[in-house]
Structure 1
Amino acid sequence: MSPHFAYRCTLVGAGPGDPELLTLKAVKAIASATVLLVDDLVNDAVLSHASPTARIVHVGKRGGCQSTPQGFIDKLMINAVHEGERVVRLKGGDPFIFGRGGEEVEHLRQAGIDVDVVNGITSGLAGLSSLGAPLTHREHAHGVVFVTGHAKPGDSGTDWPQLAATARQAKLTLVIYMGVSSLEHIGQGLLSGLPAQTPVAVVQNASLPTQREALTTLGELVHTVQREQLESPSIIVVGDVVQGARAWTAQPQTAQKAA
C-alpha cells in the first residue's frame, strides 16, 4: 500500500535552454507555483511563465563552478512546502538525467512530501539534434548511453576503456555530460576501445543563441576542443551517428566547425 502524503512538490525540467522547448505541462506547473527554486542553467526567459507574485529563489548548480549546497536546497524545498507554498524546483534539462532529481525525490519523500516530475528535453538530445543528426539509427547505432564525465568525490568514475569496448561491440552512441574538464582522461580511455577515426560532436550551450559546436574525430577530440576553446556546459557525442550532422564530410581529416 502506497504511503499517504499530505504535501506535494514538483520537479520541472526546463529543457536545454531554448524557452520554446518547454512542454505545456512545464508551463502550467511554473505558472501555478508560488515559490520557484531555480538552477543557474535555466534560461531567464522561462521565468516569464511564472506568476508575478511568485517568489523566485536562484539556487545555483552549474558544473565546474561554486554551487549552492544540495542539502541547503533540500531544506529550502521542504520548508517552503510545509509552509503551504506550491513549490516548483526548476532544473535545466531533465530532472532525472544528471539533475540530482533522484536525490531530491528521496529527501522530499523522507520529509513526508510527495513529488510530481515534469520531464524536460535533455541537452544530450537537443545538442546533436540541432546539428541535424540522430542519437540512434538502424544502421549506425542500436542504442544510446548517457554518461557523466564528472565523478563524485571518492568515486573512481566510469571505466572508459570498458565502456568504449561495449559501445563498439553493441553499436552504441555515447553521450557524455560534464566531460570537458576531464577530456584528456576520457579521450585516452575511449581510444583504447574505439578507433581514432570515430566521429565526435561537441556542443556548448545547446539550443541557445550562444551555441557553439565542432565536429571532429576521437583521435582529434582534445586538440579540437582546445583549439575551438569550447567550455562547459558542453555535451560530447561519440559514435557513427555524428556523420548525420549537416556539416559532416565523408572523411574528416581535421576538426570541422558545424554550419
Structure 2
Amino acid sequence: MSLFLAQAPGSVMLIGAGPGDLGLLTVTGLRALEAADVIVADRLGARSIIDQLTEERGAPLDAVVIDVGKQPGHHPVPQERINEILVEEARRGRRVVRLKGGDPFVFGRGGEEVIACREAGIDVQVVPGVTSANSVPAVAGIPLTHRGLATSYTVATGHDQLTEIGGGRDHTVVVLMGIGTLVHSAMVLARGTRGPDCPVAIVEDGFGDSQRVTIGTLGTIAFHAARRSVRSPAVIVVGDVVTLSPYAAGAFDSAAAPHPELARNP
C-alpha cells in the first residue's frame, strides 16, 4: 500500500517539497497535496510548489493553507507552535500535510515534528523530498562526487558557526543556510588541507527566477559574495568538483583568483 493510500482522516503527512520546482515533487507528495484538508507550509520551496500547482490546475487547492514560513532571524511561528498546529488540526479529523522545503529530515526539523505527533497519538508519515544539498549543486553542473576528484561529501548547516570538517579538496563540503556565516566558514575550511585556493561555488535561488552562481576560492569567496550582494537562499559547495561546473569555465586556468564575472549564467 502506498503512503498516499495509507493516509487517513486525523493524520499528518510530512512531505518534502524539494528545492521549489514542481517537477521535482514526488508523485506521492503531489497526490497528498491534492487530497489534503490542511496544508501547513514553509516559506522556501513549499510556497513555490503551492503556487505552481495552483497555476497548473487553474484553480487553488481545496485545502486550507496555513503559512508558518520562517525567514533568517525572524520566526513568526515558533517551532513549538507549528508542532501544536499539526496536532490540533489532525485531532479535528483532518488530513494534514506538512509541506517542508527540501527533505523533511535534512536540516528541516522534521524529526521534531514526527516526535510531537507520535507523543500526541497522531498517525504521522514522512514522504522524502529532493534535498537542496544535492539538487542545487546539480543545477549548476556540480557533482558532489566524481571519479578522480571526490569520493565523499559532507552536508553541514551554516546556521551556526561551522567547526572543523576533516578531509581535503577531494572531500566535498556542502553548506546550507551559510551566507550569514560565510566569512567564518571559509576561514575554518581554509585552515585545513583544503587551503585558501580550494574552489568554491555559491548557488543562489537554485531553480528560482533569480538563480545565480558565484565562483571563487576559500580565500576569495567572501569578497566576491559581498561584491555581488549574494543573498539567501543559497547553497555553498567547496571542493575540486566545483571546477567541473560550466560556470567555472576558465576560472581556475591560471594562478589568478577567479572573478565573479566568470560565473555569469551561460
Provide, for residues 88-125 of structure 1, a one-character-per-residue CA deviation record: whole Å limited to 9, x for no partner. Answer: 00011111111110111111111112321111111122
2:157 maps to 148
Residue aligned with 2:180, SS = helix
Aligned pair partner of 1:26 in 25, 29, 40: 29
Q: Could you say if the C-alpha distance between residues 190 and 8 of structure 1 is closer, same or farther in structure 2, counting changes exceeding 3 Å?
A: same
Alignment of 1:33-182 (within 5 A): 33-41=36-44, 42=46, 43=48, 44-48=50-54, 52-151=61-160, 158-159=162-163, 162-163=164-165, 166-168=166-168, 171-182=170-181
Residue aligned with 1:241, SS = helix
1:101 maps to amino acid: G
Shift of 1:187: 1.3
1:251 maps to amino acid: D
Structure 1: unaligned runs, 5 residues or longer? 152-156
Alignment of 1:110-259 (within 5 A): 110-151=119-160, 158-159=162-163, 162-163=164-165, 166-168=166-168, 171-193=170-192, 194-248=194-248, 249=250, 250-251=252-253, 253-255=257-259, 256-259=262-265
1:247 maps to amino acid: Y
Residue aligned with 2:172, SS = strand
> CA–CA distance in 2 between the matches of 1:188 and 1:127?
23
Residue aligned with 2:51, SS = helix
Shift of 1:7: 4.9
Contact 2:9/2:95 (8 A) holds in 1: no
1:17 equivalent to 2:23? Answer no
Q: Could you say if the C-alpha distance between residues 131 and 185 of structure 1 is closer, same or farther in structure 2, counting changes exceeding 3 Å?
A: same
Shift of 1:213: 1.4
Greater mean deviation of Cα atoms: 16-25 or 172-181: 16-25
Runs of 4+ displaced beyond 6 Å: none
Shift of 1:20: 1.8
Shift of 1:150: 1.0
Structure 2: unaligned runs, 5 residues or longer? 1-7
> CA–CA distance in 2 between the matches of 1:106 and 1:46?
30
RMSD of the alignment, in Å?
Answer: 2.0
> CA–CA distance in 1 between the matches of 2:190 and 2:154?
17
> CA–CA distance in 2 between the matches of 1:200 and 1:184?
13
Q: Could you say if the C-alpha distance between residues 107 and 71 of structure 1 is closer, same or farther in structure 2, counting changes exceeding 3 Å?
A: same
Provide, for residues 109-148 of structure 1, a one-character-per-residue CA deviation record: whole Å limited to 9, x for no partner. Answer: 1111232111111112222111112111121111111100
2:5 maps to none
What TM-score results when the alignment is normalised by the length of structure 1?
0.88
> CA–CA distance in 2 between the matches of 1:6 and 1:84?
5
Provide, for residues 11-44 of structure 1, a one-character-per-residue CA deviation record: whole Å limited to 9, x for no partner. Answer: 0111111222211111011111100001111204
Shift of 1:179: 0.9
Contact 2:187/2:218 (8 A) holds in 1: no
Contact 1:246/1:258 (8 A) holds in 2: no
> CA–CA distance in 1 between the matches of 2:153 and 2:126?
23
**What number of residue pairs does the alignment pair up?**
245
Shift of 1:6: 9.6
What TM-score results when the alignment is normalised by the length of structure 2?
0.86
